Amino acid sequence: MVPSFQWLTTSESLKPAVERWLSCSELFIDTEFIREKTFYPELALIQVFDGEQCYLIEPRAADDDSKFCEILTSSSIRKVFHSASEDCEVLFRHFNVQINHLWDTQVVAAFLGHGLSIGYSRLIEHYCQCVLDKGLSRSDWQKRPLSEEQIRYALEDVTYLAEAYNKQKQELDDKSFDIQWILEECESLAQRIHELDEIELAYLDIKNAWKLNKKQLVRLQQLAQWRESTAREKNRPKTFVCRNEVLFSLAQKGCKDSHLPEVKGWHPASRRKYQAAILKLLQEIEEADVKDIKLIQPLSPSFWQQQTHNMQLARELIDKKANELGIDPDVLCSKKLLRNYVKFCLGKRSTPPRGWTSLRESSMGESIKAIFVTG
């Protein structure tokens, strides 16, 4: 049997609910969206539980309701999600807002020692002793009417979330854990949206970029930036535009006599559609003087091998701090986060990595810098 809920399909039906939510201290929220053949996620449904009543909201009902967006950005209403990164992105893309006062139960579970990136089903099984069916996560959420099974699934994503949240708060109180670590982590997660369209450094994420010489690296940087822009303009997944290995081969080979090289694995449809734009881009690079172009050089495996001892010293420092806090060392600082922070320390990136919160900096930053900069 489907639990009781209100289905809000118009701005008029949403307004009374929004007025009610403005007096809440917490709201439990989830979204359903589609993203299989598009670059941008397409919001299909919003679920809200205010502790007493469940709501399913058609996105169009909230499109013209500024107070709904005020709730998302309010610093006095805590928005509780599970694994919130994609929810933050889809709500940002749809409403152009950053979630404020976020609580991510997945993040909190990690700090409480319940595993990194715990799924919602496991979280609910742990806190609520209930086994949920998650088989509908990839169903068609844009199709109407929703099936009874989809409605039940959508409601369970927020009703059980409230119980898990309350038990997490009690667990934190019992452990006397410094909640500021969690609040900063959730804030950092919410701020990720500001990096979504920083495309100039996309080339650094392409495998083996460190193998390229200066001119080849300029080609790769320009090709990767072109792909990012094109994927957004066409609203198509990046892999539908051009795969990483194809960009790497094009950067490596360049163009000769106004012709593109043969590239293994380049999908014929992608080549037909984008070869003219790619050829033009590569020709412009061939005619340019690249020696004065400044790019961040990707770091090679040999660089990290040379840093093995220093990385071990940094890990020992992190392990010690994690032990003091009573948390998993990988929660305090993952291998990826440490590497990116080391790049910042060595001037290989201009800003600290997302996730390097002020508490991490104040408790470990200077000590890690000393290892790599003076070590």
Residue 330 has pLDDT above 60, yes or no: yes
Predicted confidence at residue 226, as pLDDT, reads: 98
Residue 138's pLDDT band (boundaries 50, 70, 90)?
confident
What is the SS3 assignment for 34? Answer: strand
In the set 26, 30, 104, 156, the catalytic residue is 30
Residues 6+ positions from 262 with CB-CB distance below 8 Å? none
Identify the pLDDT of residue 2: 58
- 3-class DSSP state of 371: helix
Answer whether 73's CB lies under 8 Å from 100's CB: yes
Q: Count Cβ atoms below 10 Å from residue 39 Cβ, excluding itself.
A: 18
User: Hunting for tokens 């392990």 — which residue is that?
Assistant: 319
CA distances to 194, 212, 292 from 199, rounded to whole Å, are 11, 20, 21
**Residue 87 annotated in active site:** yes
Q: Catalytic residue among 157, 165, 185, 341, which?
A: 157
The bridge status of strand 102-104 relative to strand 42-49 is: unpaired
How far apart CA 218 and CA 223 sit, in angstroms, is: 8
Is 174 labeled as catalytic in the residue annotation? Answer: no
Helical ranges in 22-147 per DSSP H = 59-62, 66-73, 85-95, 105-111, 120-128
pLDDT at 196 over 70: yes
Q: How far apart are CA 150 and CA 343, in angstroms?
A: 45
- pLDDT grade for 3, boundaries at 50, 70 and 90: low
Going by C-alpha positions, the residue among 310, 335, 297 that lies closest to residue 217 is: 297
Cα Rg of the chain, angstroms: 24
Mean pLDDT computed over 209-229: 97
In sequence order, the β-bridge partners of residue 104 are: 81
pTM: 0.93
> At residue 37, what are phi and psi to the nearest 5 degrees?
-125, 20
Distance between CA atoms of 207 and 249, rounded to whole angstroms? 11
**Is 65 among the residues known to form the active site?**
no
Q: How far is CA 38 from CA 225, 232, 234, 373, in A?
A: 18, 9, 8, 43
Q: Does position 256 have pLDDT exceeding 60, yes or no?
A: yes
Other Cβ atoms less than 10 A from the Cβ of 150: the count is: 19
Distance CA 83, CA 67 (A): 25
pLDDT at 114 exceeding the cut of 90 = yes
User: Would the pLDDT of 334 be above 60?
Assistant: yes
32 is catalytic: yes
Q: Which of 26, 32, 58, 65 is catalytic?
A: 32
When pLDDT is averaged across residues 264-288 and rounded to a whole number, the result is 95
pLDDT band at 103 (very low <50, low <70, confident <90, very high): very high
- Per the annotation, the verdict on 292 as an active-site residue is no
- The distance from CA 186 to its chain's CA centroid, rounded to whole angstroms, is 12
Residues above pLDDT 70, as percent of the chain = 99
Of the listed 153, 165, 274, 341, which one is catalytic? Answer: 153
Give the model's pLDDT for residue 375: 56
- Token output for 155: 């409601």
Give the pLDDT confidence of 13-67 residue by residue, as tens digits: 999 999 999 999 999 999 999 999 999 999 999 999 999 999 999 999 999 889 9
Domains and CATH numbers, the chain: 6-195 (3.30.420.10), 202-287 (1.10.150.80), 301-374 (1.10.150)
Which residues, 6+ apart, have CB-to-CB distance to 8 below 8 Å? 14, 17, 55, 56, 57, 58, 61
* Closest residue by Cα to residue 116 from 315, 337, 320: 337
Of the pLDDT bands very low, low, confident and very high (cuts 50, 70, 90), residue 364 is very high
Using CA atoms, how far apart are residues 107 and 117, in angstroms rounded to an integer?
7
**pLDDT mean across residues, the chain:** 94
Q: Which residues contact 355 (CB under 8 A, 6 or more apart)?
A: 185, 188, 337
Exposed, middle or buried by CB within 10 Å (0-12, 13-18, 19+), for 253? Answer: middle
Peptide bond into 145 cis (omega under 30): yes
Report percent pLDDT > 90 for the chain.
89
**Exactly one of 58, 65, 87, 156 is catalytic; which is it?**
87
282 Cβ contact list (under 8 Å, min separation 6): 219, 223, 250, 254, 255, 260
pLDDT at 191: 94
Complete DSSP assignment for 310-324 = HHHHHHHHHHHHHHH
